Amino acid sequence: MEIIELKAKAAQIRMDLLRMIHGAKAGHTGGSLSNADILTALYYRVMNLDPARPKWEDRDRFIASKGHAVESLWCILADRGFFPKEELETFSQFGTRLIGHPNNKVPGIEMNTGALGHGLAISVGMALASKRDGRGYRVFCLMGDGEQAEGSVWEAAMAGAHYKLDNLVGIIDRNGLQISGSTEEVMGLDPLDEKWAAFGWNVISIDGNDMEQLVDTLEAAPTVPGKPTLIIANTVKAKGISFAENVPHWHHHVPSDEELARALAELSAVLAGYQQEGQVQ
């Protein structure tokens, strides 16, 4: 997809996930909205995937260590054809495969995740396997910024650098908020870039809601031979909904009927603008 198409797709995914959360009366809204651009860039432009062959050995791997923000991922996997879009209506319902965290019974999901701090260690193992098996696939791991308080993240960071895993890309959804408030009030992280660099990673800081920056940075990885890449994607919690952006309680707030209508109206206008721009170009 071209950049304008990716922007339009991200707007559509935001609308889909809001409808899904509203219908289920459950979900993590803020983080799924903040990471929608990151996942759109990965799944529609950057990663080497085949929905018809979800277990293809040379596919790129994606691990959602930030597993609670799964709603955007479910919507994208359905849109890409990993499973029928109608199944989104079962999200968080009794007996569904589409639970509130990634579930590897669903095609396209590599590993059950949700216990924060585990995803990067899994990704290190996958990237090391790729190297030792002579495969060319890359491994992308999306983490939350609140997750950086987990000690296992830093153990995995040390291992990734030690094994020179330049096929490993860590991404931090740096929206500055977690369930109990500001990350800097709960457990200060800054200078986050210097900490990761000290662990031997090549660190790049970008606007994580800017599609051009996302595509340029993600497509360029690996950027330094022999070093894993860490992308600090500075995002806005609940990105795309003016009245919800950077509001802490939208971490897992379910929109009311009125809030859903307002949000969809805003996103519909954004989508229409991208569609018109794309036609002009």
- What DSSP designation does 117 have? T
> What is the residue type of 85?
K
Q: Is the backbone peptide bond immediately before 228 cis, with ω within 30 degrees of 0?
A: no
Which residues neighbour 185 within 8 Å (Cβ) at sequence distance 6 or greater? Answer: none
Architecture of domain 3-280: 3-Layer(aba) Sandwich (3.40)
For 206-270, give the DSSP string: EETT-HHHHHHHHHH-S-STTS-EEEEEE--TTTT-TTTTT-GGGGSPPP-HHHHHHHHHHHHHH
Dihedral over Cα of 130, 136, 137, 140: its sign: positive
Answer yes or no: are the C-beta atoms of 122 and 143 closer than 8 Å.
no
What pTM was estimated for this model as a whole?
Answer: 0.96
pLDDT confidence of residue 279: 67
pLDDT in tens, the chain (281 residues): 999 999 999 999 999 999 999 999 999 999 999 999 999 999 999 999 999 999 999 999 999 999 999 999 999 999 999 999 999 999 999 999 999 999 999 999 999 998 899 999 999 999 999 999 999 999 999 999 999 999 999 999 999 999 999 999 999 999 888 877 778 888 888 999 999 999 999 999 999 999 999 999 999 988 899 999 999 999 999 999 999 998 988 998 999 999 999 999 999 999 999 998 876 44
Half-sphere exposure of 234 (CA within 13 A, CB side): 9
pLDDT confidence of residue 221: 87
> What is the residue type of 195?
K
pLDDT confidence of residue 70: 97
Domain boundaries, the chain: 3-280
For 24-73, give the DSSP string: HT---HHHHHHTHHHHHHIIIIIS---TT-TT-TT--EEEESSTT--HHH
Query: 3-state DSSP helix/strand/coil percent for the chain, to nearest 5?
Result: 50, 10, 40
